[in-house]
Amino acid sequence: MIDFHSHILPGMDDGAKTPEESIELLKLSFRQGVSLMCATPHFYPWENTPEEFLARRRRSWELLKASLAGCSERVPKILLGAEVAYFEGIARSHDIDSLKLDGTGIILLEMPFSNWTARMWEEVTELSLRRDTVVMLAHIERYLHFGAREYLTNLPHRSIIIQTNGEAFIQGPFKRRSVSSLLRRGAIDVLGSDCHNLELRAPNLRTASEQIKKHLGESFLVTIEDKSRRLLESFGITGF
């Protein structure tokens, strides 16, 4: 399994606080079947420049790597990235190119928690049309009340990838039915745990997978796995 969204890098945001906590999250994810983990700390353009963010991420990653050297249990491979908060003008900002998932053109984009406007969607579309850029919309289930659904039913092309959090399949029947209907229509592509800690926001992709299998059938899981692998393979990332 590939986890496209997590906050496992120590001290970067409201996710893992220490390398020890990061390692516990990684070990648990691996035991749940995650072979590749995308580490996507929050990037807020009003708090950091991309350069400052990348310097902080480098330090956090070095700290984690040093701690992982003493870890005897297997953990997923890690790809560094960011969860980039939407801002007005993002489609014309080349600063964010450095925040793509390492070795890929994928930008994990966190939309605002307010009604989606045609203007916002124009920006997302324009960004996705840029050469070597794939927009991955983070945790789509959180936006279904903000008018996201109407945009998802008519995606202009496949440079927009839809990511759902595992919790959407776990937190109760109402949310599960909403995301399940999107999944049935092929409007959901990949999963992320969005894990932050071992308590309320823990790795959950095994439970999510079990729920998908139970309520929708195994073929949907296979499709998600296929789409996830093919997406990374399209950028030459293999062997996970």
Closest-by-Cβ residue to Fe ion is 194
Question: With contact defined as beta carbons under 8 Å apart, do 2 and 240 qualify?
Answer: yes
Task: State the Cα–Cα distance between residues 140 and 95, nearest whole angstrom.
Answer: 24
189 touching Fe ion, by CB under 5 A = no
Per residue, the 3-state secondary structure of 192-205, as one string, reads ECCECCCCCCCCCH
Identify the residue whose tokens are 């310097």. Answer: 55
194 touching Fe ion, by CB under 5 A = yes
* Cβ at position 131, least distance to Fe ion in Å: 27
Identify the residue whose tokens are 């692998």. Answer: 229
Closer Cβ to Fe ion, 3 or 194, answer by number: 194
Closer Cβ to Fe ion, 48 or 223, answer by number: 48
Task: State the Cα–Cα distance between residues 21 and 160, nearest whole angstrom.
Answer: 32
Structure tokens at 35: 């072979």
| Interface of this chain with Fe ion, residues 67 to 86, rule: CB under 5 A | 83
Total site size for Fe ion, rule CB under 5 A: 2
Identify the residue whose tokens are 């003008």. Answer: 89
| The one segment of 15-23, 86-94, 192-200, 204-212 that binds Fe ion by CB under 5 A | 192-200
Closer Cβ to Fe ion, 205 or 226, answer by number: 205
Distances (CA, A) of 240 to 63, 76, 94, 177, 189: 23, 8, 30, 31, 18
Closer Cβ to Fe ion, 129 or 170, answer by number: 170
* Cβ at position 190, least distance to Fe ion in Å: 14
Start-end of H helices in the chain: 19-31, 50-68, 118-128, 148-152, 173-184, 205-215, 218-233
* Cβ at position 200, least distance to Fe ion in Å: 13
141 touching Fe ion, by CB under 5 A = no
* Cβ at position 197, least distance to Fe ion in Å: 12
* Cβ at position 12, least distance to Fe ion in Å: 11
User: Which residues are near Fe ion by CB under 5 A?
Assistant: 83, 194
